[in-house]
């Protein structure tokens, strides 16, 4: 798939105010500072479509982008250790869960995992919640700038092995690097494959 157009549509805090459409929607979410905005920019071949920041918690709203006038990419707030108040974290959690559970045209949730670190409890708990609610999920291991790095390979293997303890069948997964555009073709091809079956 080639991204010919990527247009920002709307930001909001309420799933009921999301675009009224039957076009397929793909949500991207992960722990704060996992490289989500950089990945979105890499996938769409844009430099500033999603706002990047070295400070966790930059994304605070449900952000809709219309891709190729055919499907929507949704940038969701990160979960975890963003430097925001407990109250705001709770508001984000409610907002995100309502969107994920209620959005009828949501066809896949891409959960981003930092490949450079060992499995994190918060990531495993979120993926477990998604699975328990029967939501469609795929995993993207980010920041794999050195794909032959033994530590990265080990971390990804450990994450998958941990998931196997509670999952009969593992979700599809991808390895990516925004800096080197690793995973772009595979992830967009996967989206194209899903769209072709709808």
Q: Give the model confidence (pLDDT) of 130-153 as tens digits.
A: 999 999 999 999 999 876 789 999
Output the DSSP codes for 78-97.
PBSS-SS-HHHHHHHHHHHH
Burial class (CB in 10 A: 0-12, 13-18, 19+), 80: middle
Per residue in 19-71, pLDDT tens?
999 999 999 999 988 999 899 999 999 988 887 544 444 457 899 999 999 99
Token representation of residue 45: 């071949």
Please, are residues 43 and 142 in contact by the beta-carbon 8 Å criterion?
A: no
Q: What is the mean pLDDT of the chain?
A: 90
Ordered domains of the chain (ranges, CATH): 6-197 (3.40.50.300)
Q: Which are the contacts of 138, defined by CB distance < 8 A and separation ≥ 6? A: 108, 109, 110, 111, 171, 172, 173, 174, 190
Query: How far, in Å, CA of 73 to CA of 188, rounded?
Result: 11
Q: What is residue 106's predicted lDDT score, i.e. its pLDDT?
A: 97
The mean per-residue pLDDT over the stretch 81-88 comes to 65
Q: What is residue 125's predicted lDDT score, i.e. its pLDDT?
A: 93
């Amino acid at each position: 798939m080639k991204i010919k157009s990527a247009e920002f549509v709307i930001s909001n805090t309420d799933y009921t105010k999301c675009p009224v459409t039957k076009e397929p929607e793909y949500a991207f979410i992960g722990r704060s500072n996992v490289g989500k905005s950089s990945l979105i920019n890499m996938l769409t071949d844009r430099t500033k479509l999603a706002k990047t920041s070295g400070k966790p918690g930059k994304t605070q709203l449900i952000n809709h982008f219309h891709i190729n006038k055919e499907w929507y990419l949704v940038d969701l707030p990160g979960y975890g250790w963003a430097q925001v108040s407990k109250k705001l974290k709770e508001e984000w959690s409610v907002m995100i869960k309502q969107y994920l559970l209620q959005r009828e045209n949501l066809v896949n949730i891409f959960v981003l995992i930092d490949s450079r670190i060992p499995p994190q409890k918060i990531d495993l708990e979120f993926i477990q919640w998604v699975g328990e609610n029967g939501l469609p999920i795929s995993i993207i291991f980010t920041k794999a700038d050195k794909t032959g790095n033994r530590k990265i390979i080990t971390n990804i293997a450990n994450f998958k092995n941990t998931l196997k303890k509670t999952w009969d069948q593992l979700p599809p997964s991808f390895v990516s690097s925004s800096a080197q555009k690793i995973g772009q073709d595979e992830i967009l091809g996967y989206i194209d494959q899903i769209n072709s079956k709808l």
